């Protein structure tokens, strides 16, 4: 997989320009306390620029770094992600970053034994074919619905000079609202408390035709009783 290296300059700029309303990063935590769906993929072009534009993203789960208390079988199924319906509600400059805020979308994870998505968790980004409308998003939404998240808010911070950005982890809010895993997560009091974090880029050579940005991201759960602080060290470690 084409992992993203987030330059130190972006981290410094993000921290220097943050007003306190937006925190970036993937969140802290370690050991058995981590519960996350880790995935990578691409947004579907065109990228949202105007108020009301929709953000859509297709991705695949990474088996080695997806740790959730539900029975997933990566040997028998590919697990795909489709994020859609997020509408751009605010776009502004935050220092040297472009800050885009989206509201009221859906993220779905599907399990499918056909392994028919146009790329897998270990496909190099440079070998992903151009977007085929016959496959995208259709081959990311077949199979059985594992979990559906309602996303009330999501903020992206993008540094145009470097062509790289980050998801404002603490400024995202997700809740489980469907899928067969909902029963498991209900029993563990894990319907709420989910956030989205990670990085994205449009660096030359990383994004096939028809897509917008390459995303390396995750949905992560944090206990309301012991929320770990946002960690820029963790986001750097994730994308080396």
Instruction: pLDDT band for 32, please (50, 70, 90 cuts).
Output: low
The per-residue pLDDT for 72 is 97
* Helix H or strand E segment including 183: helix 182-187
Tokens of 161: 């000079």
Instruction: Answer whether the bond into residue 46 is a cis peptide, omega within 30°.
Output: yes
- Cα→Cα distances 218→16, 41, 120, 203, Å: 24, 11, 16, 20
Question: What are the pLDDT digits (tens) for 151-164?
Answer: 999 999 999 999 99
pLDDT at 33: 72
Q: Is the pLDDT of residue 8 over 70?
A: no
Q: For 90-104, what is the mean pLDDT?
A: 95
Residue closest to 36 by CA, chosen among 116, 147, 123, 143 = 147
| Reported pTM | 0.84
- Residue 19 confidence (pLDDT) above 50: no
Strand-strand pairing, 173-178 and 211-221: unpaired
Residue 1 has pLDDT above 80, yes or no: no
pLDDT digits (tens, 9 = 90+) for 34-69: 899 999 999 999 999 999 999 999 999 999 999 999
Q: What is the rounded CA–CA span in Å between residue 217 and residue 215?
A: 6
Phi, psi angle pair for 53, to nearest 5°:
-65, 150
Q: For residue 227, is pLDDT > 80?
A: no
The predicted pLDDT at position 4 comes to: 53
Query: Do residues 200 and 190 lie in contact, with contact meaning Cβ atoms separated by under 8 Å?
Result: no
Interior/surface letters 126-161, b for 16+ CB within 10 angstroms, e for the rest = eebeebeeeebbebbbebeebbbbbbebbbbbbbee
pLDDT digits (tens, 9 = 90+) for 107-148: 999 999 999 999 999 999 999 999 999 999 999 999 999 999
> Which residues neighbour 20 within 8 Å (Cβ) at sequence distance 6 or greater?
none
- Proportion of the chain in helix, strand, coil states, percent, rounded to 5: 15, 40, 45
Residue 224 pLDDT: 60
């Amino acid at each position: 997989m084409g992992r993203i290296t987030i330059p130190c300059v972006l981290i410094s700029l993000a921290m220097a320009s943050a007003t306190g309303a937006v925190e970036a990063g993937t969140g802290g935590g370690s050991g058995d306390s981590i519960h996350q769906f880790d995935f990578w993929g691409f947004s579907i072009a065109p990228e949202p620029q105007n108020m009301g534009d929709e953000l859509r993203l297709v991705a695949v789960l990474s088996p080695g770094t997806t740790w959730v208390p539900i029975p997933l079988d990566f040997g028998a199924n590919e697990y795909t992600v489709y994020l859609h319906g997020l509408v751009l509600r605010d776009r502004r400059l935050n220092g040297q970053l472009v800050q885009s805020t989206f509201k009221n979308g859906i993220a779905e994870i599907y399990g499918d034994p056909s392994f028919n998505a146009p790329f897998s968790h270990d496909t190099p980004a440079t070998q992903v074919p151009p977007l085929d409308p016959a496959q995208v998003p259709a081959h990311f939404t077949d199979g059985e619905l594992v979990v559906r998240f309602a996303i009330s808010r999501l903020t992206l911070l993008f540094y145009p000079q470097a062509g790289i950005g980050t998801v404002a982890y603490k400024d995202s809010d997700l809740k489980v609202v469907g899928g067969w895993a909902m029963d498991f997560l209900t029993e563990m009091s894990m319907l709420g408390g989910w956030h989205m974090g990670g990085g994205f880029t449009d660096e030359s050579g990383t994004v096939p035709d028809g897509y917008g940005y390459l995303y390396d991201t995750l949905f992560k759960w944090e206990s309301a009783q012991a929320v770990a602080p946002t960690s820029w060290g963790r986001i750097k470690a994730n994308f080396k």
